Structures are given as C-alpha cells and as structure tokens.
Amino acid sequence: MLNEDPSVGENTNLRSALAIPLEGFSGVAGVLCLYARERNAFTEDHLRVLSAAATKVAVAVENALKYRQAERSAVTDMLTELPNARSLFLHLDSELARAQRTNQTIAVLVCDLDGFKQINDRFGHLEGNRVLRAVARALRVQCREYDTVARLGGDEFVLVLPGQEPDSVSTKVEQLTSAVVEAGYETVRAACLGISVGVAYYPTDGKDAEALLAVADQRMYREKQRGVAANGSDASSVVA
C-alpha cells in the first residue's frame, strides 16, 4: 500500500501511509507501516527499501511470537489454560515466602475428579477433554482473583487459597463441589461427575510446597476411598 490516506474515519493529521505485509516462514506475521503528514510523501524507492527490510523484520517478529508461545507453554496447561505443575510450584513457593513474612495461613486443596474415567469410557476422550475444560472454568469462577487454580495432571487440580481458615474452606469446598457437578452435567448431560478434596494448611501441616501437597493428596485419597467403600462408586467429599 503506497500513499494511501490513513485518516479515513479517524481524527488524525496523517495523510500518507506505506504498508508492507511481514511474510514469515509460517505466513503473514504482521504488517509494517510508515505514516507521514504530507500527501504522497512516499516514493517507489521507499517501497523498495521497506520491502527489502520486511523479510528480516518478519523473521524477527515470528521468532518473538514463537518465543512468547514457548514461554507461555512452559507454565500453562494448554488444554485447560490453567497454570501447570511447574507454575504451581513456583507460585506456591512465592506464596509461602509471603505467608512467612506476614504470619498468614494458606490452604492448599488437592482435588481429584470422581467419575471421570466413566465419562471417558462412555462418551469418549474428546468429551472428557471438554469436561476438564469446563471443570477448570468452574473452579476458577469459584475462587478469588488472587487465589490460584492449577492443573497438576490428568483429572487432578490444586487450589492455593491464601488467608483461608478451616471454616471458610469447608464452605468453599461445598461451592466447588456443586460447581464441578454442574459443569459435568452441562457438558455431557449426565449426573456422573463429582470431586474428592483433601486440604492441608500452612503452617500446621507443613512449611514447604512438597509437604503441603503430600498431606493434601493423602487426605484426598483417603476420602475418595471412604466414598467408594460407602457408596460403591465415586463420591464427592472433603477431608481436612
């Protein structure tokens, strides 16, 4: 685009534009634009110089986009778009350091879905992935802005809730359980999904990420087993 008027529909004193598409190895990565206040400010020479530079600029932009994507992938679970396990440990270490300075409690919740295998077996793995995404959204909605919801792997999620005491956590777990049940039903139109939750508290149950997650995971597993024994199937419950 050579000497087009860029002022259409805008309150601007720019009167000329020179634009070149940035074509990288994977397609168009963007557009390189120059503007001027004078009409017909750009010449064919300007176009040739900009065209010569565009290839190198396109490669630089494409590489920057790939680096940003790789950086995001390193800390993000791509299926649910929640923080992944690596990001969880980094964040939890940071929260623990802050809690130590401020003498604040932290509740760490390990959550495992009940009935998820049956969903995969009955509806297929694509529907199972949709359920995981729906659960991730449901958990996130139930939390405060400064809480953390991460996917540890498979159908296991971890929540980090700063400043939460047992009474408030019990209420929160009830809300999370209802949200997960609803997310499962809305996705596959069957009441077959639940959740088991184990809770550990800093500093009572541990003072580092590994210890807290281990305690919460053990409590979650024991509660899941009690639910199976009592009901003959997965049950939704919490233990702390």
**For the segment 100-158, what is each residue's pLDDT rounded down to a tens digit?**
999 999 999 999 999 999 999 999 999 999 999 999 999 999 999 999 999 999 999 99
What are the chain's domains?
2-73 (no CATH), 85-239 (3.30.70.270)
What does the pLDDT average to over 229-235?
Answer: 57
Residue 33 pLDDT greater than 50, yes or no: yes
Lowest mean pLDDT among 3-17, 18-32, 64-78, 209-223: 3-17
Q: What residues act catalytically?
A: 155
pLDDT, mean over the chain: 88
Q: Which tens digits make up the pLDDT trace of 55-101?
A: 888 888 888 877 777 666 688 999 999 999 999 999 999 999 999 99
Residue 35 pLDDT greater than 90, yes or no: no
- Predicted local confidence at residue 2, as pLDDT: 62
What does the pLDDT average to over 164-171?
Answer: 92
The sign of the CA dihedral 207, 212, 218, 222 is: positive
Order of strands, sheet of 2-4, starting from the edge strand that comes earlier in the sequence: 2-4, 16-24, 27-36
Rounded to whole angstroms, how far apart are CA atoms 195 and 238?
Answer: 9
Q: How does residue 12 score in pLDDT terms, banded at 50, 70 and 90?
A: low
Residue 195 pLDDT greater than 90, yes or no: yes
